[in-house]
Structure 1
Amino acid sequence: MLLVLFQYVSAKRIFEDQDIKLTNYRAKLKTFKDSIVALNDDMVNQSHFNLNRNEDAISYFEKEGLDVATLIPFIKDELYRLNEVKGQHPIVPYASGEGRRMMINTVKILNHKWIIADFSDGEYWGEVFLTYEVTKQRQLSFNLVESFLYPFN
């Protein structure tokens, strides 16, 4: 009888411990699911102004006979290629620090007409707002609309 009582108490303790662990795991799972939903909502909001998710802009390029999947890397590569130009950067309207070059670092294509990008020379940082056009000859032209340089502290 003592052995049965010992087994009962031991099994009850193990069961209660497992029940507590299961309850904790369920609470964590709910928290993680809520976090995933919140992150997905943030991602959708952040990607609103993004050529990849803009059906109207994609349709615009498709009507012109352009493949967006190859066009996006092409546009970015052309902007980055401007970093190689000797002298003053053709897009960035600010002079760089001594012995440095202003270079475009990050490019975000908003739609079929607009781009934002950031630039730096390692000491000074700023951003540019550009318009772009793909000509009938499949050439790109960029036009600087607005720019700013962050204050140096």
Structure 2
Amino acid sequence: MKNKLFLYLFVFAALLALYQFVSANNLQKAMTADVNELQAKVEQLEDSIQKTQLKLLDMQYFSLENNDDALAYYDHLNLEHPARYIEDKLLETNEKSGDNPLIPYAGMESDFKINKIKVLNHKWILADFSDGKYWGDLIIKYELKDDLSVDFTLLDHLLYTRSN
């Protein structure tokens, strides 16, 4: 009887060990699959981040902030952010009542005002303007003087036509 009891206990312990082994093996396979899936997602996100960084660098190529040669023109002025200063001065031209004086068109829905500005270098600006319904682009030449005044000269302009 004692031998049968030990045999049953041994068989029960063996079955319990087999169950634990199979269960742990299945758990390990599931966790390995999860890790592999997460690694694939991380690689995909890293690729996406790298592509986004390259796009950002490409977009910043024509930018005063990233052009050390153009920034050298303003070293003697002690401006912390020359591009921001120039943008602010250009936006001040919007404050006059009526159309912005740099825009050679009369507003059709309301007054034409400059919306977006991209300071390309120490001489040129690209700007977007709109009256709420119609819009266009400007190429502006500017000169930042030693007294921190800025002269703007319109080089070219474009008004988009609506096609209905």
The two structures have a TM-score, normalised by structure 1, of 0.92
Instruction: Specify which of 76, 85, 90 is matched with residue 79 of structure 1.
Output: 90
Q: Which residue number corresponds to residue 149 of structure 2?
A: 139
Summarize the Cα distance change of 1:70–1:58 in structure 2 as closer, same or farther, 3 Å threshold.
same
2: CA distance, partners of 1:67 / 1:20: 58
Instruction: Give CA-to-partner distance per residue, 1:37-95, whole Å, 9 cap, x none.
Output: 11111111110000000010011211xx1234243222111111111112332111111
Instruction: Give CA-to-partner distance per residue, 1:79-135, whole Å, 9 cap, x none.
Output: 11111112332111111124x111111111000000001011100011101010012
Q: Which residue number corresponds to residue 36 of structure 1?
A: 49
Report deviation, 1:140. Answer: 0.5
1: CA distance, partners of 2:123 / 2:79: 13
| Partner amino acid, structure 2, of 1:22 | V
Instruction: Specify which of 120, 129, 132 is matched with residue 139 of structure 2.
Output: 129
Q: Which of 66-75 and 31-40 deviates more?
A: 66-75
2: CA distance, partners of 1:88 / 1:35: 43
Segments of 4+ moved more than 6 angstroms: none
Checking the alignment, whether the CA contact within 8 Å between 1:58 and 1:68 is kept in structure 2 is: no
The two structures have a TM-score, normalised by structure 2, of 0.86
Root-mean-square deviation over aligned CA pairs: 1.2
2: CA distance, partners of 1:151 / 1:88: 18
2: CA distance, partners of 1:26 / 1:56: 43
Q: Which ranges in structure 2 are unaligned for 5 or more consecutive residues?
A: 1-13
Q: Which ranges in structure 1 are unaligned for 5 or more consecutive residues?
A: none
- Say how many residue pairs are matched: 150
1: CA distance, partners of 2:90 / 2:101: 10
